[in-house]
Amino acid sequence: MVPEIKKYFAESRIFYSAAIILLIINLFFSYAYLRPEWKKAEELSREYFSLRKEKSGVRAELKRQQDYASLIKTMESDISSFVGELPAEREMTRIIKEMHALARKSGVTIKAAKYTPSIGKNKDLLHYTIVAPVSGSYSQVRKFIYNIEKVPYLMNIEDLGLTSGKENAVSLSLKISVYFRTD
């Protein structure tokens, strides 16, 4: 039985030696062939992640621009609504008459008002500055200012100067802005 075992090990040794040699040759050729491919794979992987990062940056920029465009549309809509609510320029005479009626109702007098127009940048907004000296008692002047602030259109008191006169009389230097839409 010993010669059979020796023969078996001799045949096995040849088989295992051949298998090991084939494995080494296979590893050598695999390494020699695959090494350049590994480098290509690494480069492709780096490029992939770089492009992915760039894509996410582009997406973020696109989202930011879309948000900005949406904000601009909202602002344009708000401005349009605002301008649409303003009285038309042709109503300037009516509003001046109404301001004088408020003065009479309050018991004050307006002397020689000065009206200065200016047109907005977009030419859809007209701004009138009205400078007028107003006189009356303190309570009448206060009532007039209160009535001006209550008007349903955009009439803004920009500046006022109050000086006292004889007895209960008060003089008021009033600067008012009124806004209109151009037609």
Same-domain pairing of 75 and 93 = no
Tokens found for residue 179: 């806004």
Distance separating alpha carbons of residues 50 and 68, to the nearest angstrom: 27
Average pLDDT over residues 103-113: 90
Identify the domain containing residue 145 by its residue range.
89-181
Q: Which of 139, 126, 140 is nearest to 178 (CA)?
A: 126
Q: Please indicate, yes or no, whether residues 118 and 145 belong to a single structural domain of this protein.
A: yes
Are residues 126 and 78 part of one domain? no
What is the maximum alpha-carbon separation in the chain?
A: 146
Q: Determine how many CB atoms are found less than 10 A away from the CB of residue 174.
A: 23
Residue 150's CATH number: 3.30.70.60
Q: Which has more confidence, 1 or 64?
A: 64
Distance CA(42)–CA(39), nearest Å, equals 5
Neighbours of 148 (CB within 10 A): 19
pTM, two decimal places: 0.59
Ramachandran class of 102: left when φ > 0, alpha when ψ lies in -120 to 50, beta otherwise: alpha
Shared domain check, 124 and 105: yes
Q: How many angstroms separate the CA atoms of 129 and 38, rounded?
A: 78
Calpha distance 39→44 (Å, rounded): 9
- Reply yes or no on whether the pLDDT at 87 is more than 80: yes
Provide the domain count of the chain.
Answer: 2
Based on the domain organization, do 77 and 96 belong to the same domain?
Answer: no
| 14 and 93 share one domain | no
102 plus 144 within the same structural domain: yes
* pLDDT for res 175: 92
Q: What is the pLDDT of residues 132-153, one digit of tens each?
A: 999 988 889 889 989 988 888 8
Question: What integer is the mean pLDDT of 154-170?
Answer: 83
Q: Using CA atoms, how far apart are residues 176 and 160, in angstroms rounded to an integer? A: 9
Residues present in the chain in total: 183
